[in-house]
Amino acid sequence: MLVLAGCSAGSDADDADGPVTMTFWGWAGGYAEAVKEFNRTHPDMKVEFQQVVPGVKGGYQKMLNAVQAGDAPCLAQVGYESLPSFAAQGALTDVSTYASADKGDFQSAAWQSVSLGEAVYGAPVDVGPMAMFYNKKVFDSLGLKPAKTWAEYKKQAKKIRDSKPGRFISSPYLNYDYAGLAWQGDAGWFATQGDAWKVTMDSKANEGVADYWQGLTDDGLMGKAPMYDQSWYRGLGDGSIVTVVGAAWQAGVIKGGAKDGAGDWAVAPLPQWKAGEERVGNAGGSSTAVLKGCKSPESAWTFAHWLSTDKKAWDGLITKASLYPAAKDLLSLPQLNAPDPYFGGQNIHRVFAEAAPKVGTDWTWGPVMAKTVADLDDGLSRAWAGKGTIPDALRTAQEKTLAEMKSQGLRTSE
């Protein structure tokens, strides 16, 4: 069908050989400590954690190379956006036989992100429900309250720009941050029809989202500082960038990079396209995937499920990596229910807890996301700089994505 999965020979010990030994490749902070706790509490299994560089920086290619060589680890940290690409290359093992009974433990959108058809390729670890981070100090000085709709947000953008030279409501969004904006607008990028992929980046829904942000750019309401650049952190700290539409994990990014903004910021629900709606996008999140060649898939699922649901393991995953759990029962953890001095003493996690179940479940990532995102970012960067448009960036990314899919022998439906 769309994907292949296998269970050929690998380096991990088989269940029948006594204590099961499995290797796990990942990079998130807190994983090494979590693995030690698992090994302590599961004497019949042993997981060996090996740190690799983040996936987009080479970790994914190392995993795929290992699968091809027949010596891949049993388990690997794989972002939701990359999971279909792994599946399309036959690099995953379907563990639905062991996993399906645990579906109810996870938020619906997260479970959808590790599933393709009836197959399940791993356990959801974290999610990125989105909200609006805003500089409450600036908002209060201008008599503003968090916008309820995107139309109101645009009006506020004009007031913010006119209040002080060099002050803007936000700054350019790229790749998966922009995908979250499309996700909220029910503007999916991919779908499946039978055994073929359909690319929908140029849909009317996508055009509507793109036209909105293009309009803010054309009207001079958006800043130019790229996200995660030093100029962006500086803008967050000095109040010249006033909002960030971002995922739960963005809190840790802002706190760590914009220390001068401590006490000024707060979090509010996303503005909506229509008043009264409750649509939420998602940005980021990863799984503990079971790779092809794993000789102990049942044990692999046992570990993957444990990592996603164990409260002690999540002590470190929250404090070291600022992850937000995909498991429903972990949303009541004390670490997620405490005031945050950086955000003026607000318990910001309540906003994300309310947002998480509102994330749409119809979003599907495509099978060549590395190529899709590279081409999209190229077009978006030009559009934000006034050298193109966001709708054109989406159309071009769609054309190049379709060409790449065909070159890889993937069936497409146009």
Q: Tell me the pLDDT tens digit for each residue of 283-295.
A: 999 999 999 999 9
pTM for the whole structure: 0.91
CA–CA gap between residue 327 and residue 318 (Å, rounded): 13
Mean of the per-residue pLDDT values of the chain = 94
Run of H or E including 199: strand 196-199
Instruction: Give start-end residues of each CATH 3.40.190.10 domain in the chain.
Output: 15-127+285-336, 130-282+355-407
Model confidence over 19-41: pLDDT tens digits? 899 999 999 999 999 999 999 99
Structure tokens given for 217: 């750019």
Confidence of residue 157 (pLDDT cuts 50, 70, 90): very high
pLDDT above 70: residue 12: no
Instruction: Tell me the fold of 130-282+355-407.
Output: D-Maltodextrin-Binding Protein; domain 2 (3.40.190)
* 331 contact partners, CB below 8 Å, separation of at least 6: 325, 353, 356
Beta strands in 52-152 (DSSP E): 75-79, 115-116, 119-120, 122-124, 130-135
Q: What is the DSSP string of 239-297?
A: TSB-EEEEETTHHHHHHHH-GGGTTTEEEEPPPBSSTT---B-B---EEEEEBTT-S-H
Residues 278-325: tens digit of each pLDDT: 999 999 999 999 999 999 999 999 999 999 999 999 999 998 888 999
What confidence tier does 16 reach under pLDDT thresholds 50, 70, 90?
Answer: low
Q: Whose CA is closest to 243, among 90, 346, 331, 133?
A: 133
239 confidence band (pLDDT: 50, 70, 90): very high
Does the pLDDT value for residue 18 go beyond 80? no
Domain 15-127+285-336 bears CATH identifier 1.10.10.10? no
Segment 351-359 mean pLDDT? 95
User: Could you count the other beta carbons within 10 Å of the beta carbon of residue 35?
Assistant: 22
